[in-house]
């Protein structure tokens, strides 16, 4: 590995100029593969070498797909015969270690209880990636149980995968729960990654990785055979270095799945928009951008200064800035929704396992295993969230659950995000990513986060009780575009235009970068 000051972004493959794997895009890889400059086998070997360079330090990848090279060779053969499955053909992608695959890889949510467990088929997310020609390179580490176990754990820690560290400062908090997905995409350990979000788990690690993260509308992407928290809030989306790459991946994974009835809500009889066609460098021209002044922090912080500068950039690009206050920005929400959903949804996932090595039937079994298996680090890392869920005494079929759900729908609907969008006829509400997640989560609305800035030199270093660095020089932060349900195409257009105007991602490099490049592999 090398320090950022020594890093380069433009190299050569077989004597021809080609971007570094920390900067490369899907279009770059597709063109190089199609021209024969390198193969998908070369790509897998290069990415695996990069993972091996940094994984002992950052723990971003939980396990590699032992079939990745064989799959790459098959896709290379298809290409040589004129068969091309699309822009993702032969491109390696990592997926979070809660998205099931029917292969030799585990799907554990970071728990030893599910090591060796098997499913009878791929999750729809894995299936769609394969259908698009992507190579599932491995499973990225995560905050255990998608950050839904403990009150005193740390972002990025799992019993199975260890502690993920962020890429922009030593011992950096990577945020979570898609922690490894964020770090891997930031460092070019794969072209991009899939994450999952219930509230913040894509957008927050994306901002900490200086990435684009798309948290789709609940129901745009299938959750079948994804280890759940809440059917009302869970969603799966891409974490990539550019808006265009994230759009390519979203287009590949979105769509109806008969095994996830929430996908029946996709508009236009399930037809997925042309997200790549939505990209427009002038997309901010004429857009109505909503600013919810009454819920914004009043501090003059680094993030808020950058946020108001972003408003000026959009105004300069032809957008109309609209005051779009929330009717009740402090409307109360209910924790019952996640707790009761988790009790029901986890049991449903366990019931789908074709091999269940520790006979997990529900949350009570999981808590007992976790509290008695030494590698789960209990009681140092408690089970407080599960204790609360089990203490409810009911699941999501109870009338008390529906009361809590309606409370959330009001807080995020009429009183919150959706009401502000509708009343003010805006295309998006923009917020600092650090305060955006729950505003959309409680009503299943989409978010696209893009890089906004970095903490400057001289910033005081702040740490958590477990020693993870939360604020320091060069730690990134993001800007979120929030929208109404199934408005991803609009959000992508706006986010792309802002990205192209600012190109924030290029301004700071991670503090360490793998040295292996495609030219090191493809030359031989």
Instruction: Tell me what pLDDT residue 506 has.
Output: 94
Instruction: Tell me what pLDDT residue 84 has.
Output: 98
pLDDT tier at 523, thresholds 50, 70, 90? confident
**The model scores a pTM over 0.75:** yes
Residues forming beta bridges with residue 139, ordered by sequence position: 63, 95
CA nearest to 487, candidates 498, 479, 495, 476: 495
Reply yes or no on whether the pLDDT at 469 is more than 60.
yes
Whether 230 sits among the annotated catalytic residues: the reply is no
Rg of the chain over CA atoms, in angstroms?
22
With contact defined as beta carbons under 8 Å apart, do 275 and 229 qualify? no
Q: What proportion of the chain, given as a percentage, has pLDDT over 90?
A: 98
Whether 9 sits among the annotated catalytic residues: the reply is no
Reply yes or no on whether the pLDDT at 234 is more than 90.
yes
The one catalytic residue among 123, 140, 193, 201: 201
Q: What is the SS3 assignment for 180?
A: helix
Please state at what angle helix 40-58 crosses helix 179-187, rounded to 10 degrees.
120
The one catalytic residue among 20, 30, 40, 96: 96
- Tell me the average pLDDT of the chain: 97
What whole-number distance in Å separates Cα of residue 257 and Cα of residue 222?
6
Query: 26: which DSSP letter?
Result: H
Task: Give residue-wise pLDDT tens across range 162-220.
Answer: 999 999 999 999 999 999 999 999 999 999 999 999 999 999 999 999 999 999 999 99
Q: What is the SS3 assignment for 123?
A: coil
> Could you tell me where the DSSP H helices lie in 215-373?
243-253, 302-316, 336-352, 363-372
Reply yes or no on whether the pLDDT at 524 is more than 80.
no
pLDDT tier at 414, thresholds 50, 70, 90? very high
With contact defined as beta carbons under 8 Å apart, do 31 and 25 qualify? no
pLDDT tier at 9, thresholds 50, 70, 90? low
**Which tokens belong to 102?**
């029917």
Listing DSSP states for 21-46 in one string gives TTT--HHHHHHHHHHTSS-HHHHHHH
Q: Could you give the dihedral angle defined by the CA atoms of residues 333, 264, 353 and 130, in that order, rounded to the nearest 10 degrees?
A: -120
Whether 96 sits among the annotated catalytic residues: the reply is yes
Pairing of strands 512-513, 2-3: antiparallel
Reply yes or no on whether the pLDDT at 5 is more than 60.
no
- ∠ CA(434), CA(440), CA(443), 5° rounding? 155
Reply yes or no on whether the pLDDT at 2 is more than 70.
no
Handedness of CA 12, 474, 431, 463 (dihedral sign): positive
Reply yes or no on whether the pLDDT at 3 is more than 70.
no
Q: What proportion of the chain, given as a percentage, has pLDDT over 70?
A: 98
Q: Give the residue-averaged pLDDT of 238-247.
A: 99
Reply yes or no on whether the pLDDT at 410 is more than 60.
yes
Task: Give residue-wise pLDDT tens across range 363-372.
Answer: 999 999 999 9
The one catalytic residue among 158, 177, 193, 204: 177
Reply yes or no on whether the pLDDT at 341 is more than 90.
yes
Q: Give the residue-averaged pLDDT of 318-326.
A: 98
Task: Give residue-wise pLDDT tens across range 446-460.
Answer: 999 999 999 999 999
In our burial notation (b when 16+ CB lie closer than 10 A, e otherwise), range 26-37 reads: bebbbebbeeeb
Reply yes or no on whether the pLDDT at 6 is more than 50.
no
**Which tokens belong to 101?**
């695959």
Q: Is 101 buried (19+), middle (13-18) or exposed (0-12) by CB count in 10 A?
A: buried
Q: How many residues does the chain have?
A: 524
- ∠ CA(515), CA(521), CA(522), 5° rounding? 130
């Amino acid at each position: 590995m090398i320090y950022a000051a020594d890093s380069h972004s433009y190299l050569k493959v077989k004597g021809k100029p080609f971007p570094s794997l920390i900067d490369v895009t899907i279009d770059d890889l597709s063109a190089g593969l199609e021209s024969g400059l390198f193969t998908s086998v070369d790509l897998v070997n290069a990415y695996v070498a990069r993972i091996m360079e940094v994984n002992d330090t950052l723990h971003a990848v939980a396990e590699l797909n032992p079939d990745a090279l064989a799959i790459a060779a098959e896709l290379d053969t298809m290409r040589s015969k004129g068969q091309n499955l699309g822009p993702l053909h032969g491109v390696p992608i990592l997926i979070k270690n809660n998205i099931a695959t029917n292969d030799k890889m585990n799907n554990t949510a970071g728990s030893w209880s599910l090591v060796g467990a098997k499913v009878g088929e791929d999750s729809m997310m894995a299936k769609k990636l394969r259908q698009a020609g992507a190579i599932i390179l491995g499973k990225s580490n995560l905050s255990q149980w998608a950050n839904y176990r403990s009150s005193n754990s740390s972002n990025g820690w799992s019993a199975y995968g260890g502690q993920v560290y962020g890429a922009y400062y030593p011992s950096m908090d990577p945020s979570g729960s898609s922690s490894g997905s964020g770090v891997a995409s930031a460092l070019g350990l794969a072209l991009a990654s899939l994450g999952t979000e219930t509230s913040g788990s894509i957008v927050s690690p994306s901002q900490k990785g200086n990435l684009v993260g798309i948290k789709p509308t609940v129901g745009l992407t299938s959750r079948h055979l994804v280890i759940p928290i809440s059917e009302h809030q869970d969603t799966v989306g891409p974490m990539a270095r550019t808006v265009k790459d994230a759009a390519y991946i979203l287009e590949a994974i979105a769509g109806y799945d008969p095994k996830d009835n929430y996908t029946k809500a996709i508009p236009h009889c399930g037809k997925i928009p042309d997200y790549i066609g939505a990209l427009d460098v002038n997309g901010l021209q004429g857009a109505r951008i909503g600013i919810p002044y009454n819920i914004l922090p009043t501090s003059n912080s680094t993030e808020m200064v950058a946020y108001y500068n972003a408003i000026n950039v959009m105004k300069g690009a032809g957008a109309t800035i609209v005051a779009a206050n929330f009717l009740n920005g402090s409307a109360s929400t209910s924790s019952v929704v996640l707790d009761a959903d988790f009790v029901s949804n986890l049991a449903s996932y366990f019931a789908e396992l074709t091999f269940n090595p520790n006979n997990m039937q529900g949350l009570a079994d999981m808590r007992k295993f976790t509290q008695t298996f030494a590698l789960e680090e209990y009681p140092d890392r408690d089970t407080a969230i599960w204790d609360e869920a089990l203490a409810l005494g009911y699941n999501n079929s109870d009338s008390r659950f529906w009361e809590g759900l309606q409370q959330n729908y009001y807080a995020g609907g009429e009183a919150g995000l959706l009401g502000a969008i509708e009343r003010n006829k805006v295309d998006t509400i923009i917020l600092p990513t650090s305060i955006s997640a729950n505003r959309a989560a409680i009503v299943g609305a989409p978010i696209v986060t893009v890089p906004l800035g970095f903490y400057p030199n001289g910033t005081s270093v702040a740490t958590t009780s477990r020693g993870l660095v939360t604020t320091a020089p060069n730690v990134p932060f993001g800007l979120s575009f929030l929208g109404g349900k199934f408005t991803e195409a609009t959000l992508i257009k706006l986010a792309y235009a802002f990205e192209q105007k600012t190109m924030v991602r290029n301004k700071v490099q991670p503090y360490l970068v793998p040295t292996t490049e495609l030219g090191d592999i493809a030359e031989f």
